[in-house]
Structure 1
Amino acid sequence: MGDHGLGTAALALVPTALGLLRALHPQLRVHVTHMEPERALPALQARDFDLVLAEEYPGNPNPRPAELEQEDLLDDALRLALPQSADSGDADGPTAVLRSLAHHPWVMEPEGTAARHWATTLCRNAGFEPDVRFETTDLLLHLRLVEEQHAAAFLPDLVWNGQSPTVALRQLPRGQRTRRVFTVVRRGGSGHPAVRACRDALLRAVALRSGRA
């Protein structure tokens, strides 16, 4: 199993899925690797992995090679996370709240990632170029920087892993409020018993997290 740059999804879902696999398929040996998005899908195509956990941000669809098959896992809500010092309420609407952070420091994922492209475009559509002072793929560090009032950030709901939010959250403009989380396998591989078991375990982990099971 490869993890397509999804630290929060891995943290929220993979340990639960592994527990389910251990209980239901004790003989199944699972390896998990956290890898940059640009390397994960080529590694899948090269047969280094049999399954990749991937993400897609609004307005930024991933390539869909004919030799790969996708299956939706969940829609993960995206929100603006505000340092306490920058919390100006949301009476004027999502775009106005976002625009109020035009001169505030930001933490974002590194240049070249889909998440960074989405976040930068969102700020530009609100009328400003974000002042990105911190760059990291670790979304828990994003959260910590917001908590310590060093930066604003865009955080997915999976970062809370079932816990109550510790920072002020505001809704994003329409059409920008969720990212798609899904699994990818090589074409024809979805029927393999081990792949099916892993996909079923991840779906069950999503259901358990949302209280549907």
Structure 2
Amino acid sequence: MAISFDLHRLRLLRELKHRGTISAVAAAMSYSHSAVSQQLKILESEVGTPLLEPDGRRVRLTPQAEILVEHVEAVLERLDQADADLARTLGEVTGTFRIATFQTVMMALMPPVLTRVRASCPRLSLELAHADPGEALSRLQVREFDLVVDEVFAGQPLARSSLVTQTVMHRDAMRLAVPPPGLPWSDRRQIAELSDADWVMEPPGSPAREWADRMCAAAGFTPKTRYESPDMVVHETLVRGGHAVAFLPDLLWVGAVPVVGLHQLRAGGYRDIVCSVRAGTTDHPAVRATTDAVGEACEQAAVAIATHLEQGTTETKNGQ
């Protein structure tokens, strides 16, 4: 006999897979812990087999539950596609569109993106959040965000998933940054020359730190990381003051002429700026309008970066 599935309860099961605990599901869905548990017990009764099993103080999905969630993902993707098809029949893009990104993109690319989307889609309300990339991709899949603008460093794979469509929008050079002339380490142009220098890097465990440690290891040393911060402006400030050396991204120079010494890296000296959306939403007018705006902002940024890097090089030479 066919089972009459309740989509709401199936979505709770899917949320549990992605969020890990019933408490997290309850908080995200604005339910009580007991209400979520009760709905999942009803779903187990409807299906006729256990869907959860103890895992220490938590629970995990049974193989049967994993099968159900796989089908729920497919159903939700089709519903996203249906939403996109309906939206394309309307004359105006409306609603709320939620974007998650990280610091340098927030500073360099998001202002022109907001301006362009506001002009082209005045009834589309954009929400912008500064979020950890790994967390943001998880929240994208549970529909807390509609677009994640992320970074992927050379040698690191895209977070491939059949549930997410990813597009590389811009290749952002990473450069070796040393203090201005007259300060420590300012005369060094290669990573290998900086084995005795103090470094500022992102915290351990981040993709940026993994890439930076790998670049130094390829140069034959383990960096003396005296300073740690996820803030690239902090990195630039410490380098400018002569306290450290660093790897800095070109997106920092969209709106400023660099005063630190910047040197091009050899193979692997870049990160890609990547747009991630749920697989069923790629043709949604709001997604197209926003990702088109990101692409245009990247093109404008490339021009500004080239101009400011040239001005910075000229000013440094004149200062010497």
The two structures have a TM-score, normalised by structure 1, of 0.91
**What amino acid does structure 2 have at the position aligned with 1:85?**
P
Structure 2: segments with no counterpart, 5+ residues: 1-97, 305-320
Aligned identity (percent) is: 40
Distance 2:185 2:302 in 1: 31
1:105 correspondence with 2:198: yes
**Shift >4 Å, 4+ stretches:** none
Q: What SS does the corresponding residue of 1:165 show, helix, strand or coil?
A: coil
State the match for 2:286 in structure 1: 194
Shift of residue 2, structure 1, vs aligned partner:
3.5
Residues 38 and 82 (structure 1), Cα distance of their counterparts in 2 relative to 1, 3 Å cut: same
State the match for 1:148 in structure 2: 241
Distance 2:99 2:300 in 1: 22
Distance 1:143 1:133 in 2: 14
Structure 1: segments with no counterpart, 5+ residues: 91-96
Selected match of 1:86 from 169, 181, 185: 185
- Higher mean C-alpha deviation, range 201-210 or range 28-37: 201-210
The two structures have a TM-score, normalised by structure 2, of 0.61
**What amino acid does structure 2 have at the position aligned with 1:193?**
P
User: Looking at CA atoms only, which structure, 1 or 2, has the larger radius of gyration?
Assistant: 2
RMSD over aligned Cα, in angstroms? 1.5
Selected match of 2:134 from 31, 35, 38: 38
Q: What SS does the corresponding residue of 1:142 show, helix, strand or coil?
A: helix
**What amino acid does structure 2 have at the position aligned with 1:74?**
H
Shift of residue 133, structure 1, vs aligned partner:
1.1
Shift of residue 211, structure 1, vs aligned partner:
4.2
Distance 1:87 1:24 in 2: 46
Distance 2:277 2:153 in 1: 19
Which has the bigger relative contact order, CA under 8 A and spacing at least 6?
Answer: 1
Which has more helix, going by share of residues? 2
State the match for 2:31 in structure 1: none
- CA offset digits 1:138-183 (Å, max 9, x no partner): 1011100100111100001001124221100111122x12211010
Q: What SS does the corresponding residue of 1:73 show, helix, strand or coil?
A: strand
State the match for 2:116 in structure 1: 20
